[in-house]
Structures are given as C-alpha cells and as structure tokens.
Chains A and B, each alone.
Chain A
Amino acid sequence: MLKRKLSTRQEAYFFASPALFLIVAFVIFPLCYSFYLTFQNYDLAIGPPAEYVGLENYQEMLEDKRFWRSWLNTFIIIFPSITLQLLLGLGIALLLNRPIRGRAFITSLLIIPSMVSPVSAAMAWRMLFGVKYGGINNFFMQIGLLDVYFDWFATPARAIFSIVAVEVWHNTSFMMIVLLAGLQSIPQELYEAGEVDGASAWQKFWWITLPLLKFTMIVALLIRMIDLTKIFGLIYLLTFGGPAGSTQTVAFSTYLSGFQDFRISYASTLSYVIVVGVFLLTLVFQKVSRFREGGEA
C-alpha cells in the first residue's frame, strides 16, 4: 500500500487535534452552555423545566447587595495580601541575592509553602489559630502575652486579618522566587559602575535595582491578583465566608449560590463576571509582559 504523505499543515492539525478536541468538549462547550443558562431560570432546588427569562438574572445581580459585597470583600483581601507579599518577597529575595552559603537549599525550603495546596495550608493554620489549644494561642499564653484565649475569627476585621496572614504565608515564596530570578538577571556591571561613581547601597537599590525590577514586580503582582480573584480553598476552610458574610469572596459566593442554594442559572451569571474580571487582568498581564520583552530586547 502506498503511504500518502501529509502536508505540513495537515500534520500540524493531526498532532494538535486530540488536545483541541478535549478543550472544545470540556471547556468551550460547557462555557457556552453556562452562558446559555444565564438567560434561563434553571434552579435545582425547584427543579426543571427551566425557561427563558431574558436578562432577569443580570438584573437581579446588579440589585443584589451580596454580589457587590463579594467584590468588595475580594478587594479587601487582595490588596493587603499582594502588598505584603511584594514587600516581604522583595526583602527575602534581596537577602538571598547576597553572597550566602547554601542559597539553593534555603530557596527550595522557602518555596515549600507555595507547593502545598490551599486546603492543607488552611487546615494547618486553622488548627494553629484554634481558640482553645491552638498552637498560636498556646504559645502566647505560655510566654504570658495572652491571659484569655483569643478568637482569631470572631469579628470581620480579625477574620480578614487571619485570611490575609495565611495567604501571605502561602504565596509570598512565589513572589520571592520571581523577584530573585529578576534580581539575578540584572547585569553586575551596572552595580560596579555605580560603585565607581560612589553610589551608596541605598542609591544603588533605588536607581538600579528598582527600575530594572519594575516590570517583573508588575507581572508577579498581576499573577497574584489573577489567582486571588479566584480565592476559594482558604475561605472554605478558614471561615466559610463568615462572620456575617464578611469573607464571602466572589468565587465563594458563586459557589454558595450554585451548590448551597442550587440556583444554577444565577450562579452562572455570577461566574461570568469573574470570567470577565480575570479575562481583563489576563489581557493586562499579556500587554505588560510583551512590553517588557520588547523593552529589554
């Protein structure tokens, strides 16, 4: 039998098609389906048949206080988290960039928190934050800083503080590793030239390191923002949205609508706002990283 040679174009499709098929079947099609659902009143608690309701879900969403609150809550968690992650991550990266022994080993130890799942991290911290017999309260009682057990989740402010603390613990090392890579790509000659000109350590940091690290910082911050917009595991484990809904983030309140109230159509509508938000952040991310590549080339 004569084997016919495929053209290059056909070959390209031949190799890419299995994955493309899966992506269409398991991502594109479901997303189109859920977009269709946003115009229905599909409700698992009441049950089908669902019918076409036009823009009712969107209208309800815009009037829903919980929806606006959830975006506000998400921002309230995102901004202190990424600020602390940037400052701490930059600080540790600067330390690791100095001539120290065992840098590779220390770095790989420091990365471990960002390798574990949000669920495991949150469970460990939930136990550390435990009111009675939790590790932190135990420690502060023992050294005499506390004389009554402290509830780390009792008020909205405390709950947000605790979530931010766990998030900072969990993902600062990502920021650290990205900034360390950025620091190591700064040409050493620039610092030598600065030294010749008599620049102080602070001046070298301010005029050489920071400007050259600017885009790396923005890109890393954007990655954390995209991730944090979707924050779910930490919330589920640490507060389940409480107290008084103060830690219900967008992904979590969508989850509650869909899988506690079983209002599938309404949850789809909420989820599309997250898709749009993440989509916009991703576009910014793309623009910035392309601009950075162009600028450095």
Chain B
Amino acid sequence: MIGLSKYRLRWYVGMFLTYAGIAAALIFFLFPFIWIVTTSLKGNEDYFTFPPVWIPTEPSLAHYERLFTHGNGWLYFKNSLAISSLSMVAALAFSVPTAYSIARFRFGGSLFSNFLLLLRTMPAIALVIPIYVLYSKLGITNNYFGLILLYTVFYIPFAVWLLIGFIRDVPVEIEEAALIDGCSRLQALLRVVLPVIVPGLAVVALFAFITTWNEFLFAVILTGAETKTVMVLVASYTTGSPTDTFFGEASASVVLGILPSFLVAFALQRYLVKGLALGAVKG
C-alpha cells in the first residue's frame, strides 16, 4: 500500500512539473505577442508613465488608423498582399508540373533532387547582388513584376519538394485509367491528379504566401517608394537608436506583419508539425 501511494505521489509530482515546464515555455514564447498587441492598443498617455501600464487604460485602434491613413501603411499592406498572393499562384503553377515530372517520370534522378536542395539553401544575399545589377540595367527595380518573379523562383524548390510527396500518394491506377480513356498526360494531371491533391496544394500555397510575406532582404533592396512591403515598413521604424521608437505605430506595424503568420499557423495546425519537421525527419 505504502509503496503504491509513493509511486502515485511520484507520478503526480512528475506531471505537475511537466505542466509547470510547459506553462513556463508558453509564457516565454507567447508573452512578446501579448505585449506587442497590448502596446499597439494603448493610447500615448500609457507609454511614458511609471509604474508602467500593462493593460491599456483606454484601448483604441488609433495607431492602426494612423498607420493606414497618415503613412503609406495601406499601400504597403496592399503591396504585400498582391506580391504574396501572385507569387503564391505562380509558384504553384510552375511547381506542380515539375513535381509531377519527378514523381511520375523520375525526372533528373537523384542529381536533380540534390540540385533542388542546394537551391533551397542558397544564400539570398548572393543572389540579390547580381539581381540588383541586372534589374537596374533592365530598369525593373521598384517593380512588382520583377519582385514577384524572384519570389516565385525562390520558392519553387521547396514547393516542388513538398508536392512530390503529395503526388506520389495518388494511386497511379486512376491516372492510367484516364490515359486509356484517351486523356493526354496534361489532361490527366489537370483533371485527375489535381483534384485529389487539393489539400496538399493548399498547404504549399499557404507556406508560399507566408514565406513571401515574411521576406525582407529582397524587399528592402529591390523596392522603391511605391512598391515597399509590410516588412520594409516594420523595419523603417528602427531609425534612431534602439532607445526611442514610435511605440504606437511601430507596434501596430508588427501586429500587421505577424497577423498572416498567426492565421496560417492555425489553418495549418495539422500540417504544421509535418511541414516544419519533414525537412529534418525525412530528408
């Protein structure tokens, strides 16, 4: 009896410590988000008081309004939205056939998949230097089209690699049936394979959107006054020393910057673990 209760006590203590550890982790990883959201809702009178105000006394969306109406926030938000969604669509359009070719015809063999991996890890800084020179010569810096193409290409290796798995899961038999019925390969891909892999396409699309939305290096170098993205806007609040920032608008811009990530994180809940871990766990 005593042995058993000792065992149970140890189990309870163990579980208590487990939950305590997880709670500590949750606090560490989430408090910056809570702080930045409350900061963006505070009025100016709440920033410079002591003792500090943690919960806004009169929550208001005034800073968001300023961000969108007084500055170019609305324009940059639209830019980010347009650039991210167009390069998402383009990346899918280019990656699906390539992934299909690899999954069904073993296009390029292992050499090509190694090449794709190298492209995935390619340092952006090495690419942006020649791209900047070439774009300047062509006169397409500060141009949506040039930026969208670049993001499309940069995302292709990851998209292809994710899509190969989804396409391999489609049984070859249903495709062969379509081919016998007189479909061309292209029709088979469009009418038979695509409808089956819609969930996979959604995952790839959302990852593409968020990757482009979050990108900074290309954006800060290749955009001009009219084509800036939200990330460039966020970074623009660093002028001056780290000691003084425009609390209201800066925090509102950060919230704007992380909003899509939050939405995607919850939309992809089921796939997130796989999507993030796959790279390390499966090769």
Flag if B244 contacts A132 (CB, 8 Å): yes
Flag if B283 contacts A289 (CB, 8 Å): yes
Q: What separation, in Å, do the CA atoms of A236 and B217 have in the docked complex?
A: 10
Contact partner of A142 (CB less than 8 A), chosen from B28, B52, B102, B253, is B52
List, in ascending order, chain A residues with CB within 8 A of B98's CB.
15-16, 18-20
Query: Does B36 belong to the interface (CB within 8 Å)?
Result: yes
CB distance from B222 to the nearest CB of A (A): 11
List, in ascending order, chain B residues with CB within 8 A of A111's CB.
265, 272-273, 276
CB distance from A4 to the nearest CB of B (A): 11
Interface residues of B in 226-241 (CB under 8 A from A): 231, 234-235, 237-238
Query: Does A196 belong to the interface (CB within 8 Å)?
Result: no
Q: A93-116 vs B: 1/0 string, CB under 8 Å?
A: 001101010001011111111111
Interface residues of B in 91-121 (CB under 8 A from A): 94-95, 97-98, 100-102, 105-108, 114, 117-119, 121
Query: Does A286 belong to the interface (CB within 8 Å)?
Result: yes
* Residue in chain B with minimal CB distance to A99: B15
Flag if A268 contacts B130 (CB, 8 Å): yes
Q: List 22 A-B contacts (CB under 8 A).
A: A11-B185, A18-B97, A22-B152, A23-B153, A30-B127, A34-B126, A34-B130, A104-B269, A108-B266, A109-B29, A112-B265, A113-B32, A117-B261, A119-B234, A120-B254, A124-B251, A127-B250, A138-B52, A169-B28, A264-B129, A271-B129, A272-B126
Flag if A128 contacts B35 (CB, 8 Å): yes
CB distance from A258 to the nearest CB of B (A): 5
Q: How many residues of A contact B (CB 8 A)?
A: 111
Which of A55-63, A186-194, A216-224 lies at the interface with chain B? A216-224
Which of B19-27, B170-178, B194-202 lies at the interface with chain A? B19-27
CB distance from B126 to the nearest CB of A (A): 4
Which of A34, A216, A286 has the most C-beta atoms of chain B within 10 angstroms of its own C-beta?
A34
Q: What separation, in Å, do the CA atoms of A130 and B251 have in the docked complex?
A: 13
Flag if B281 contacts A178 (CB, 8 Å): yes
CB distance from B99 to the nearest CB of A (A): 9
Which of A111, A117, A172, A174 has the most C-beta atoms of chain B within 10 angstroms of its own C-beta?
A117
* Residue in chain A with minimal CB distance to B276: A177
Contact partner of A30 (CB less than 8 A), chosen from B47, B108, B134, is B134
Contact partner of A169 (CB less than 8 A), chosen from B32, B214, B221, B273, is B32
CB distance from B269 to the nearest CB of A (A): 5
List, in ascending order, chain B residues with CB within 8 A of A251's CB.
123, 125
Q: What separation, in Å, do the CA atoms of A152 and B28 have in the docked complex?
A: 18
Q: What separation, in Å, do the CA atoms of A135 and B55 have in the docked complex?
A: 12
